[in-house]
Amino acid sequence: MTDAVDDPVDDPVDVGSAAGVTAVVTDGAAALPADLAARRGIGVVPMWLTVDGRPEVEGSRPLEELLAVPGVLTSAPAPGEFAAACTAALAHADAVVVCTVARSMSASHEAARIAAADFGERVVVLDTGSAAGGQALVVLAAAEAAADGASVAGVVERAASVARRVRLIATLPSLDHLVRGGRVPGIAGWAGRRLGINPLFEFRDGVVHRRRPALGPEAATDRMVAAVARSAVPGARLRAIALHACAPDVAEDLHDRLVGLGADDVLVGGFGPVMVVHTGPGLAGIAWWWEPA
């Protein structure tokens, strides 16, 4: 994804080049395992759901239970929640880089910007141009740069560089959930069931792009892995996350096949509830980028 983030820093401020401790914060749209976020010192501001008319923070109930409830609504964190996360991070850091889900998908980015205004140059907000595993890879790159002692400008530069390279491709077992939610026509869902089609899509430049569908789940998996293989950069290291929603077996298969492409340290992550309540269970995918040697 070569143009995922044209200008990741929203305001033309001088983020500085002085060395110091930089913390990284993201939102719950990133498919970032909680234990990994804790180990890397990454702050995560959760998204919100409205279930049966009542707000609840994501993760309050098992995903399988959540999917059984009709009409679940989703919402971004409030600016105050980002402000609290930044305040906590600044207790042990000199600056914070907030990496949000693509602004085209959520109000999370704008909420982070509003919160950042109160901190001046100590907090920089970056639009990852992605979501789920793609967002997670950008966040992890930022955290790695911070751990290596990069300045806040260096952390932003590293994250923006990865955001321009990261790709996310995913498949659904059917369009039924999207039909029920009114996001695709009923005739499309009927045709998909009739023909045994697995839809495929790629999230690029903050926009969901439809790809040629596959005839069955195995073909969909083959198609996703082939996309990764075709994108290979000679001499580069494959950084990837195998993703799933209530489909761990599919994610494990993707994991093994990514290892077969030469990837090391492949993560397995779950799509967040905010995405899955719109798509339904069985969502699976790959987020990846090639790190130059």
SS3 of 15, please? coil
The model's confidence at residue 261, banded by pLDDT at 50, 70 and 90, is: very high
The pLDDT, as a whole number, for residue 198 is 84
Residue ranges of the chain that CATH labels 3.40.50.10170:
22-165
Polymer length of the chain: 293
Instruction: Report yes or no on whether pTM surpasses 0.75.
Output: yes
Mean pLDDT of 70-99: 95
Give CA separation, 23 vs 93, 131, 132, 147, 166, in Å. 6, 20, 20, 9, 22
Is residue 223 pLDDT above 90, yes or no? Answer: yes
Q: Which of 3.30.310.50, 3.40.50.300, 3.40.50.10170, 3.20.20.70 is the CATH number of 22-165?
A: 3.40.50.10170
Residue ranges of the chain that CATH labels 3.30.1180.10:
167-291
Is residue 7 pLDDT above 70, yes or no? Answer: no
- Residue 194 or 162, more confident: 162
Give CA separation, 34 vs 27, 37, 38, 95, in Å. 12, 5, 6, 22
Which pair of tokens denotes residue 243? 């993703």
Q: Residue 156 in contact with residue 209, Cβ under 8 Å?
A: no
Give CA separation, 151 vs 120, 137, 157, 229, 281, in Å. 16, 19, 10, 34, 41
The pLDDT, as a whole number, for residue 192 is 44
Mean pLDDT of 229-246: 94
The CATH code belonging to domain 167-291 is 3.30.1180.10
Give φ, ψ of 22 to 5 degrees.
Answer: -115, 130
